[in-house]
Amino acid sequence: MDQYFEGLDTIAITVCDRDGNILDMNQHSADVNSHGHKIVGRNLIDCHPEPARTKLLHMLEHEEANIYSIEKTLADGSKVKKLIYQTPWKQADGSFGGLVEYSLEIPFDMPHYVRQPKQ
């Protein structure tokens, strides 16, 4: 993973190929996922229970994105809210390469702005 992704301590980035094999992950992804960097090379389908497993298979087959938020209680009892953004990535020739997942910690209360085109 490129050096500028390694310093992101609140954003986990995981990349898989079109078959679901994990190609790479930044350090934060390794820190929050079971077995850390040891899962590079493994299939992410095997790392997920239902219904996530079926959803991932669908996304890989149909080259679709999946975006949602979660709230998670950590081992110390604190809570985090995350935006999960799973999206297809393209190879240099434009063909489907697989999926990239961005897991971003976000505030529980955050501003929302509606931008209008300039008149």
Q: Is the dihedral of CA 7, 11, 12, 15 positive or negative?
A: negative
pLDDT digits (tens, 9 = 90+) for 8-32: 889 999 999 999 999 999 999 999 8
DSSP-derived letter for residue 78 is -
Q: What is the pLDDT of residues 27-85, one digit of tens each?
A: 999 998 878 888 899 999 998 899 999 999 999 999 999 999 999 998 899 999 999 99
Q: What is the pTM of this model?
A: 0.89
Question: Cα–chain-centroid distance for residue 111?
Answer: 23
Sequence ranges of the domains in the chain: 3-106
CATH class of 3-106: alpha beta
pLDDT score at 1 = 58
